[in-house]
Structure 1
Amino acid sequence: MTSGMKNSVKYDDVSPALRVPPAEQKIGTPSRVWRIRADSWEFLGYALRQLSGRPSGPGATQESGLLGQILRATALLDSVEPYWAFPGPGVMKRLSGLIRAGLYQEALDLVDGIRARTWRPRPEQPAPGLSDSADVGAPEAAETAVERPRFEVLVVDDIPEHDGEALKSDMLAQRRPADAFSYDVNVVSSYEDALVALLLNADIQACVLRPGFAITASGPLGSDLRRFVSRYVEDGLERLRPIDRILRLAERIAELRPELDVYLVADVAIEGLAGSLTRRFARIFRREDRLDLHLSLLAGVAARYETPFFTALQEYSRRPASVFHALPISRGGSVGNSPWIRDMADFYGQNLLLAETSATSGGLDSLLDPHGSIKKAQALAARAFGAHKTFFVTNGTSTANKVVHQAIVAPGDIVLVDRNCHKSHHYALMLSGAQVAYLDAYPLDRYSFYGAVPLESIKKMLLDYRRAGRLDDVKMITLTNCTFDGIVYDPERVMAECLAIKPDLVFLWDEAWFAFAGFHPVYRRRTAMAAAARLEAQFRDPGYRLQFAEQARELVDPVTGEPAADEAWLGTRLIPDPAKARLRVYATQSTHKTMTSLRQGSMIHVFDQDFEQLNGEAFREAYMTHTSTSPNYQILASLDIGRRQAELEGFALVQKQADLAVSIAQAVARNPLLKRYFRILGARQLVPERFRETGYSMPLSQGLSDFDEAWRCDEFVVDPSRLTLDISLTGIDGDTFKHDHLMDKYGIQVNKTSRNSVLFMTNIGTSRSAVAYLVEVLVKLAESFETEKRQLGPRGLRALEARISALSSDPPALPDFSRFARRFRAGTNTDGNLRAAYFATYQDGATEYVDPAELADRVEAGQEVVSAGFVTPYPPGFPILVPGQVITGNALAFMAALDTREVHGFDPALGYRVFTSAWLAAD
C-alpha cells in the first residue's frame, strides 16, 4: 500500500446517500440535500486528491475501489445538480469525462474551482477550469474582483438542450458590471421539476415561466420527494390550456416560496392577459423584452434587499455633525477623549458611537410617529411576514404583549388565556383590568412542564360562557405558539372553530419562539399570519359558504334558531359563518430569539380586518404607553437587517436548522453509549396520542413528506428544531446538568431545563461544527458516567440507582389552575379580576407571610387560603399561583418537590404571601 492510501476514504465512511448504485440514484429527502450535496463535492475533492497523487501499477486494486466511490458520488450529483445553475450540465459532463479518462489532476482542479465558488466567500472571478464555460453562467468578462451578492433565476420551459443553453446565454448577456447583483440562470422543463428546484435550491430568488413546459419531472424522484411534490400537482393538469397551467404553477410557487418574484414571458397578446394576471406575477413580458426582464430581476431582489432604516442610520453616521442636545455618547463625544473609558470604543467600535442618536435628529424618523424610514421598514416587514401591519418593538415581546392586551381589552372584558403562558401576559391582564379565564394545557407530569391547550377545552369554555349568557363579554383568547418546549398549535383550526362559536373573537398568538417559521413551506402553515390569510381566502370561497350552511342545519334548530346541545358542538369540527366571522389576529414575535436581531428586538404583526375601524386609535395609544421615547436605534436597524435576511435566505437557513436538529436526534438514537443515558423526546412523548392522527414521533427524520403530513393533520406537533433531552438515566437533575456539566465544563449554553430534561435548540446561526461538538460532548459525558459508575462501591451504586429512580418516576402532578376566590370572581364562571387582587395587596393589613409547613396545614384543614402574588419557579417557568387564586394542596406538593434555584414571588425566609383571613372576611 502506498503512503497515499493510508488516508483514503473507505466506502463505508461515505455518506449513506452515496451508497446507492448509480443506476438507482434518486433525489432523497429535500431537507438534507443541502448537506449531501456539500458532502459529495467535498468527498470528490478528497478522493480525487488521493488518486491524482498516486502512481499507477501496484495500487490498481485500491484505486479501483476508490474510483467506484467517486463514480457513485458523481452519479448522485448528476441527479441533484440539474436543479442548480452552477456548475451546470456542461461542467458536469466535462468532469465525468476527465474521471473516465483517468485525468484525475484536471478533474481535481475542476472540483476545487466548483467548491471555491459555491461554498466559500469569494470575489466573482472565474473559478479554475471554468472560465471558458458559457453554460455555467460564468461572471461577466469585464467584471473585476468585486464581491456582489449572487442569486439564481429559475426558468421553466420545455425546450431542447441547445435552445436552453442559448436562452441562458441570451439572458446572461444582459448583465453589466454596474449591476448591484449578479445571477446565474437554470432552465428546467416541467411543472414538477420547478417545484423540486424550489425545494432543493435556496439560491433561487426569481422564477420566469414560459408556456410549453411539461408536467412530469425529467428524472426519477425518491419516494419522500415524490410524495411531497404530489400534494402540489393536481390531476388533469395536462388537459389544461398552457396559460392555465402557468397560473397553477405560479400559485404553487407562492405557496412554497412566497418571497420569490415570479415573471411570465409569453408570445401571446399580453395586453389582454395583464389585467387578470397581475396578482400572480410581478410583471409580464414578451420574449424580446430581454433588458426589461433583466432589470426587473435585479429590481425584485433589490426590493427585498432594501433596508430603509439601516441605510438611513449608516448615512447619518457618515455625516459630520455637532451635537448640542442630549446623549453625550453621540458621535463618541464622551468616549473618544476619555483616558478612562476609551476601551468602550475599542470594544464596541466607532460605528456604534457614530450611529447613536435620537428621534430629534433629521432623517432618522421617530418610532412613535413614523413617517419616513421606520415607517417604510415596518411596511417591508409586514410584507415579509404576511401581515396587514407590523410594528417594531425595542424592549422585547414582554412589552409587545402588553401593547396588544391594552389595545384590545377594556376593564371587565373576559380574556381566555393559557395559564402556562409567559408571565408578561399575566401582568398585562392585571394592568388592563380584564376578567381572566385560565385555560389548562395538557400536563407532561414526568418532565414537569405543560404542553398546549386542547381545542376541546377552548370550545368547552366558550360554550360555557354562551350557556351562561356571557359570551358577548368574551373579547380575546391568548395562546403561545409555539411553546418554549416546541409544542405547536394548528392556528387555522383553532381560529376557525372558535369563530364558529364567537364570530368576533380576537386572537393573540404569542410566537416569541416562532418568528423564523414564516420562511419554510411546512412551518409557515402553522403561523398566525399564514393561517389568517388562508381563512380569509376560504371565507370568500362560495364552496366554503355551502359547507357552513350544511353544517348549520345540523347544529342549529331550524324552527327556534337555538343552537344544538353543547355535546354536538364539541364533537364536530366547526365551520364559522363566513358572512359574520371577522379575522382579528395579532402575533407577537421575539425576532432576537430565532432570527438576526439585537437583544430585545421584537415585532407585532397585525392581521385585523377591523383594525382602523375598531382598534387603530386604541392600539396607537397603547403603543405610546409602553414604548420608550428613547428607543435604541441599533435594535431598530437590526430588525430591518433581520427582515432582509429572512426574505433572501430564510428558507435555506430554516431548512438547515431543522435538518441539523434531526442529525443530533439521530446521533443520540444510534450511538450505543449515548442511548444508555440520553433520549430525545419526540411527539409520542410530548403529544398525547389523542391529538395525533399520523402517529409520527419525529416526522422530519423520516422525510419532508411525513413532516408535511403531520403538520397538516395533527392537532399538535413538535418543532423539530427543539430537542428535549431526557437525562433521567444519568441520575443528575436538569439544573445541575446545565450548569455543572454543559456550561462550566464545555461552554455549551442552554436556556431551559426541567427536573430531568434539558432543552437544546438549533437556530439559523447553528453550524455543523457546533452540532458535531455537542454530540462529542454528550459522548464524553457518557464516557465519564461510565467511568464513575465502575468506580462506585455498593453504597454509591445504590445511591445512584435511587437518584435515577427519583428522576425517572412521576413527581407530584402539575397543578391545574384551581379557581379565583369568590371576592375576585364575577358571575358563576371561573374568570377573575387579577387587577383587583393585585392592587388589594397595597392595603394595610391585607396580606401576611406564611411558611410552607403552616400553609400546608391550613389548606389540609379545609381553610380557603388565597395567594396575594405571582409565584413562578424557574424551571418550569409558569406561575403556579397568581393573585386572587385559591391555594391547593396539589400546588404546594408540587412546589415542595421542585428542586430549583430560582422562584419568583416566594421568599425562602418568610414563605408565601397570602391574603389575611380577616381581610377576606371584611366587606
Structure 2
Amino acid sequence: MPASSWRLRSDAWEYLRYAVKRLALGGDDRSALAADSEILRSLRALETVELYWAGFGQQYVRDIGDLLEQGDFRTALDRIGRVVKRLRGEAQGDEAFDEYADEQERIEFAADTDPRPRFEVLVVDETTAADREAMRGDAQRLRAPADSFIYEYVIVPSADDAVAAVLTNPNILACVVRPGFSDRTRQRLSRDLRETIRLARSEVAPGLAPTRSQLASVQRVLGLADTLAAIRPELDLYFMAGAHIEELAGALTRRFRRVFRREDQLELHLTLLRRISHLYDTPFFTAIQDHARRPVGVFHALPVARGGSVVSSKWIRDLADFYGLNLLLAETSATSGGLDSLLAPVGTIKKAQDLAARAYGAKHTFFVTNGTSTANKIVHQALTAPNDVVLVDRNCHKSHHHAVMLTGARPAYLEAYPLNDFAFYGAVPITRIKQLLLDYRAAGRLDEVRMITLTNCTFDGIVYDPERVMAECLAIKPDLVFLWDEAWFAFAAFHPVTRRRTAMAAARRLEDRLRSSAHAAAYRAQQERLHDADGAALPDEAWLAERLLPAPDARIRVYATQSTHKTLTALRQGSMIHVYDQDWVREAEEPFHEAFMTHTSTSPNYQILSSLDIGRRQVELEGFELVQRQLDLATSLAQSIARHPLLRRTFRVLTAHDLVPAAHRGSGRPMPLRDGLSTMWEAWANDEFVVDPSRITIEISRTGVDGDTFKHEHLMDRYGIQVNKTSRNTVLFMTNIGTSRSAIAYLIEVLVKLAERFEEEQAQRDPDLPLPAEIPMPPLPDFSAFSVDYASDRGGAIAGGAERSALPDGDMRAAFFRGQRRGAVEHVLPAELRARVERGEEPVSAGFVTPYPPGFPVLVPGQVITAGVLDFMAVLDTREIHGYDPRRGYRILRSAW
C-alpha cells in the first residue's frame, strides 16, 4: 500500500536507525549496503521527501549516505538519531552533535527544546544553496523571545514541488511565492505523487487578471496560487517580488493575503506570526479560562458554579476530585464578563462561530450544544412550513422524521438502494431524486416542493457527490433548499480529497461555476436539447439521460449539520450548523434565529461550547495531518485483514464493489486509497457514490455469531473494544483523528484471537445447524405508502382525463397527533397483525418504530403496515426497538373513533 508522506518519512528514519545500529554494533556486514538493499532504498526515498520538510534537507541525507559508504557507521547513526529524536518530539542534548555539526545546525536543533508551537512556511523560488541558507538564517535571527510561535522555511524550486510539499507536509501553514520558480520538478517522485500533482493542477485554471498583467509569469503565479488554495484552503498565501509590486498587488489581491518587496523580511516575519495567532485564537475558550481565574460572588442560579455546593460538602467532594476544580470554576449562568449568550451572541461566542465558519468554508456557522438531532430540527423549522413538501431520504436519522412531523411539512420519501445481503441501506441515486422532482413538475405541484434532506455520508460510509446532486436538482427546481446531514463527516473538510464532497465546499464550487460564461453557454445548449421547437420540455427520459445543468440564476441555498463530537475534538453533543445561503438575509435569517431559540436551552453547556471553539483551532492548524493519518490507519487495518491467512478465512472487508452498485461507481477500484492518493482523487472527483476510507465494514457470517453478539459479548465485554454499529452479519470499525497505530495493532491482535476461537468452535458445531449470521434476511422494506386518510395526493384525473399515480407525500403530523389519543389507538400483537394484513386489511402505524440497529424508522405515523415490514421486523435480533412494546405489540390507528 502506498504510504502517506508522514508515515513513509517516519518509518524510513526509524528503519535506518535500526539497520545502521546493527551495522555499527557488528550485527550485519556491508552486504546490507548493496545497491538494492532496504537501507539504500530508504535513503533514496528520504532524499526526495526531505526537500518538502524543514530542518534537515536533501544534503543532510546525502551526507549520511556518504558516511555509510565510508564505513563510518557510528557517526551516521548519530545523525540519524537526531532526526528520529525530533520526529518523536525529544530534545537534542549536546551529546547528539559530532564534529560534522556546524554552529548553524546547533542553533537549529537547539530550538527543539523551545516549548513554543512550531510551524513551517513554504517558499516557492528557484534559489541557490547559499540563498537558501541565508533565508533560513534570517528567519532564525528574526526570532524574538516575545514571539508566540516559531517557524522554519521549506524552500522548493518549482510549482510541482510546491504542490507536492503542501500535499505531503501538514506542518506547512503559509506559503510565500516568488516569481522565479520553474514549472516542473526535477525530483524522482513516485508515480502516485506525480499523478496526484497532475490532477490537482489540472482542476484549477487561473482567472483573468487586469489587461496590463496578462503576462505569462503572472498567469503562472495565479495558477499556482489557485491550486494551492484549492488543496489547502487554510494556507495563507503571500507574494514577494522585487519590482512593480504596486501594479502586481491589484492583479493578485484576491489570491494573496499580502504582497511584499524582497527586502521586507521583518514585515513578512511579523505578518506570518500575526496570521497564525488568528488561527490559534479561541475567543470563547479564553473567556472561560479568564472567568475561572476571576474572583466573583455568585448570587444567581446554579449552586454548582465556582464549586459552591461541592467543595464544602462532606459527601460529594469526589465530583471535584474526579472532574477537576476547573470544571466547576467555569460553570456559571451569567453571560457577562466576556462569556456572551448563545441565543444572542455579540462577543466571544459570535467571534468563535465566525472563526468556525472560516474553517469549514461556510458563510455562517452556529454552535449547538444538544446534538445534531436538535440541529436538524432547527433547520427544518427555519426553512419549511406546514404543507411544504420535503424530499426525505428514507434511511436518514430519525430526527429528520421527527422534525418533519413537528413542522407540519409533508414528507415525500426517497428510497436508497438496499444492501439486502448486509441488512442496511446505501444512498439515494440521483436518477430517483430527479424522477420524483419531474413527477411533481408533471403534476403541477413542483412549487410545493421546498427542501431536500440527504445524509452525507451515511453511517456505513456511503458518500454522495453533493455538487452534482445540487446542480441537477436545481436544473429542475432552481430555488430548492438543501439540508445535508453530515453528522459523521465533519472531519472531511480538512483533507484535500474528502473536502470536495462536503456540502460547504460543493456549494462554493457550484456558486463559482454558475458565475462563469462557459457554464452559461453550456446551459443554453442543453436547454435547446431538452425542449422541442415549441419550447415544450421533452419526456422525462431525456432529462434523466443527461447530467443536468442549473440556470445561471439558480439560488445556492445549502445547510449542513455536523456532529462535530463524532469525528473531531469536542465534548459529547457538540454540533454545528453551517450555512451557505445566497438568500440568507432576505429569506432565512429571522426564521432561523427564531427556530434556534425554540430548540436551544437558555442554559447551554459552556464546556461544550469551549470544546467546539478549541477543536476548531486544532483542525485549522493540524487537521490535514490528523485526517490523513486516520485514513491511512483504516487502510492499514483493511489491508492487514485481507492479507492475514487466518483473518481472511474468518472475516471479509467490504469494499466499494460490495457497498456501491456498479451503475453508481466509475473508477472500478474496490478501495481507491489502497492504490494511492491519486486513485482516490479520481474516484472522489468522478463517481456518483464513494466509500469513506475511514470506515471499515467487516462481514462476519463465518464466525457463527450475529453482529450484535459479536459487538457486545466478544469485542466489548471480553476485550474492551468499542464500536458504534453492527448489522445482522457486519461490524463497522471506524478510525478517527484520535486513533493510533498501537490501537490498530491491538485490534488486529484481538481479531486474530477471535478468529482462532471461532475456528475452534466451528470445528465442534453440528454441521446441520445454520450459522446465525447465514440465516437469510428478508429484503429491506421500502416505504409502503401513507394511508388514504393521510396521503396528500390520492391519485385521480388530470386535464384531459389521463390517469396519474399518486405522489408519495403525506400528512405525518396529523397521524402522529391522532396517535397520541388513547381512544384512537389499539395495540396488536404481530401474529394478529399479520392475519389482518393477509385478510387484505391495511393497518396504519400510530407512531414511529425504529430498531437499533439499523437505526432508521421502519414505520412512521400514518404509514400502511405491509407483510414486508412484518417479515423484516420478525427476524431482527436487535436489543432496542423504539416505539414497539413486545408485550403489547404494535400501536396502530383505529379505523374509526
Q: Could you tell me the TM-score, scaled by structure 1's length?
A: 0.92
Assess if the C-alpha contact under 8 Å between 1:202 and 1:652 holds in 2. Answer: yes
Determine the structure 1 residue equivalent to 2:854: 876
Paired residue secondary structure (1:822): coil
Paired residue secondary structure (1:279): coil
Determine the structure 2 residue equivalent to 1:46: 18
CA distance in 2, matches of 1:128, 1:468: 80
State the shift of 1:138 in Å.
4.3
Unpaired runs of 5+ residues, structure 2, are: 207-213, 794-805
1:154-169 equivalences in 2 (<5 Å): 154-169=122-137
- Which stretch has the larger CA shift, 353-362 or 336-345? 353-362
Aligned partner (choices 356, 364, 370) of residue 389 of structure 1:
364
- Which stretch has the larger CA shift, 326-335 or 903-912? 326-335
CA distance in 2, matches of 1:841, 1:516: 40
Determine the structure 1 residue equivalent to 2:209: none
Determine the structure 1 residue equivalent to 2:605: 632
Assess if the C-alpha contact under 8 Å between 1:445 and 1:810 holds in 2. Answer: no
1:470-869 equivalences in 2 (<5 Å): 470-559=445-534, 561-579=535-553, 581-790=554-763, 792=764, 796-799=766-769, 802-803=770-771, 807-808=773-774, 810-827=776-793, 828-869=806-847
Q: In structure 2, do the counterparts of structure 1 residues 416 and 193 end up closer, same or farther at CA, with 3 Å as the change threshold?
A: same
State the shift of 1:557 in Å.
3.3
Aligned partner (choices 34, 37, 59) of residue 9 of structure 2:
37
Q: In structure 2, do the counterparts of structure 1 residues 130 and 575 end up closer, same or farther at CA, with 3 Å as the change threshold?
A: farther
Assess if the C-alpha contact under 8 Å between 1:125 and 1:145 holds in 2. Answer: no
- Which stretch has the larger CA shift, 336-345 or 92-101? 92-101
State the shift of 1:95 in Å.
2.3
Q: In structure 2, do the counterparts of structure 1 residues 360 and 219 end up closer, same or farther at CA, with 3 Å as the change threshold?
A: closer
Determine the structure 2 residue equivalent to 1:3: none
> What are the Cα deviations for residues 803-828 of structure 1, in whole angstroms up to 9, with x where unaligned?
1xx53464100000010011112124
CA distance in 2, matches of 1:440, 1:337: 58
Assess if the C-alpha contact under 8 Å between 1:415 and 1:476 holds in 2. Answer: yes
Assess if the C-alpha contact under 8 Å between 2:34 and 2:40 holds in 1. Answer: no
- Which stretch has the larger CA shift, 466-475 or 827-836? 827-836
Q: In structure 2, do the counterparts of structure 1 residues 461 and 131 end up closer, same or farther at CA, with 3 Å as the change threshold?
A: farther
State the shift of 1:841 in Å.
1.5
Q: In structure 2, do the counterparts of structure 1 residues 162 and 416 end up closer, same or farther at CA, with 3 Å as the change threshold?
A: same
Q: Is 1:899 matched with 2:877?
A: yes
Paired residue secondary structure (2:604): coil
CA distance in 2, matches of 1:133, 1:816: 72
1:389-468 equivalences in 2 (<5 Å): 389-468=364-443
CA distance in 1, matches of 2:543, 2:94: 66
Q: In structure 2, do the counterparts of structure 1 residues 128 and 178 end up closer, same or farther at CA, with 3 Å as the change threshold?
A: farther
State the shift of 1:52 in Å.
2.5
Assess if the C-alpha contact under 8 Å between 2:667 and 2:683 holds in 1. Answer: yes
Q: Is 1:101 matched with 2:75?
A: no
Determine the structure 2 residue equivalent to 1:329: 304
Determine the structure 2 residue equivalent to 1:8: none
The one-letter code of the counterpart of 1:866 is: V
State the shift of 1:311 in Å.
0.8
Assess if the C-alpha contact under 8 Å between 1:90 and 1:136 holds in 2. Answer: no
Determine the structure 2 residue equivalent to 1:262: 237
Q: In structure 2, do the counterparts of structure 1 residues 283 and 181 end up closer, same or farther at CA, with 3 Å as the change threshold?
A: same
Assess if the C-alpha contact under 8 Å between 1:156 and 1:208 holds in 2. Answer: yes
Paired residue secondary structure (1:415): strand
The one-letter code of the counterpart of 2:773 is: L
Assess if the C-alpha contact under 8 Å between 1:678 and 1:729 holds in 2. Answer: yes
Q: In structure 2, do the counterparts of structure 1 residues 341 and 130 end up closer, same or farther at CA, with 3 Å as the change threshold?
A: farther
> What are the Cα deviations for residues 458-479 of structure 1, in whole angstroms up to 9, with x where unaligned?
0111111111111001000000
Q: In structure 2, do the counterparts of structure 1 residues 348 and 402 end up closer, same or farther at CA, with 3 Å as the change threshold?
A: same
State the shift of 1:880 in Å.
0.5
> What are the Cα deviations for residues 435-465 of structure 1, in whole angstroms up to 9, with x where unaligned?
1101110000011100001111101111111
Q: In structure 2, do the counterparts of structure 1 residues 454 and 341 end up closer, same or farther at CA, with 3 Å as the change threshold?
A: same
- Which stretch has the larger CA shift, 390-399 or 218-227? 218-227
Q: In structure 2, do the counterparts of structure 1 residues 125 and 530 end up closer, same or farther at CA, with 3 Å as the change threshold?
A: farther
Determine the structure 2 residue equivalent to 1:10: none
Determine the structure 2 residue equivalent to 1:198: 166
Assess if the C-alpha contact under 8 Å between 2:392 and 2:414 holds in 1. Answer: yes
Paired residue secondary structure (1:153): strand
Q: In structure 2, do the counterparts of structure 1 residues 821 and 147 end up closer, same or farther at CA, with 3 Å as the change threshold?
A: same
Q: Is 1:79 matched with 2:51?
A: no
- Which stretch has the larger CA shift, 566-575 or 226-235? 226-235
CA distance in 1, matches of 2:594, 2:701: 49
The one-letter code of the counterpart of 2:548 is: L
Q: In structure 2, do the counterparts of structure 1 residues 163 and 137 end up closer, same or farther at CA, with 3 Å as the change threshold?
A: farther
CA distance in 1, matches of 2:181, 2:265: 20
> What are the Cα deviations for residues 476-514 of structure 1, in whole angstroms up to 9, with x where unaligned?
000000000000000000000000000000000000000
State the shift of 1:565 in Å.
1.3
CA RMSD of aligned residues (A): 2.2
The one-letter code of the counterpart of 2:780 is: L
Aligned residues: 878
Q: In structure 2, do the counterparts of structure 1 residues 61 and 248 end up closer, same or farther at CA, with 3 Å as the change threshold?
A: closer
Q: In structure 2, do the counterparts of structure 1 residues 390 and 111 end up closer, same or farther at CA, with 3 Å as the change threshold?
A: same
Assess if the C-alpha contact under 8 Å between 2:360 and 2:504 holds in 1. Answer: yes
Aligned partner (choices 881, 890, 893) of residue 912 of structure 1:
890
- Which stretch has the larger CA shift, 227-236 or 241-250? 227-236
CA distance in 2, matches of 1:459, 1:144: 58
The one-letter code of the counterpart of 1:352 is: L
Assess if the C-alpha contact under 8 Å between 2:204 and 2:227 holds in 1. Answer: no
State the shift of 1:352 in Å.
1.0
Determine the structure 1 residue equivalent to 2:272: 297
1:181-192 equivalences in 2 (<5 Å): 181-192=149-160
State the shift of 1:237 in Å.
10
Determine the structure 2 residue equivalent to 1:11: none
Assess if the C-alpha contact under 8 Å between 1:265 and 1:284 holds in 2. Answer: yes
Q: In structure 2, do the counterparts of structure 1 residues 134 and 283 end up closer, same or farther at CA, with 3 Å as the change threshold?
A: farther
Amino-acid identity (%): 59
State the shift of 1:797 in Å.
3.5
State the shift of 1:796 in Å.
2.5
CA distance in 2, matches of 1:44, 1:207: 31
Q: In structure 2, do the counterparts of structure 1 residues 609 and 235 end up closer, same or farther at CA, with 3 Å as the change threshold?
A: closer
Q: In structure 2, do the counterparts of structure 1 residues 137 and 86 end up closer, same or farther at CA, with 3 Å as the change threshold?
A: farther
Assess if the C-alpha contact under 8 Å between 1:124 and 1:146 holds in 2. Answer: no
Determine the structure 2 residue equivalent to 1:367: 342
State the shift of 1:92 in Å.
2.3
The one-letter code of the counterpart of 2:549 is: I
Determine the structure 2 residue equivalent to 1:120: 89
Determine the structure 1 residue equivalent to 2:140: 172
Aligned partner (choices 107, 129, 153) of residue 121 of structure 2:
153
State the shift of 1:729 in Å.
1.0
State the shift of 1:185 in Å.
0.7
Q: In structure 2, do the counterparts of structure 1 residues 88 and 585 end up closer, same or farther at CA, with 3 Å as the change threshold?
A: same
Q: In structure 2, do the counterparts of structure 1 residues 61 and 188 end up closer, same or farther at CA, with 3 Å as the change threshold?
A: closer
Paired residue secondary structure (1:417): strand
Assess if the C-alpha contact under 8 Å between 2:707 and 2:729 holds in 1. Answer: yes
> What are the Cα deviations for residues 603-628 of structure 1, in whole angstroms up to 9, with x where unaligned?
00000000110111000000000001
Paired residue secondary structure (1:821): coil
Aligned partner (choices 880, 885, 888) of residue 866 of structure 2:
888
CA distance in 2, matches of 1:710, 1:729: 31
The one-letter code of the counterpart of 2:450 is: K
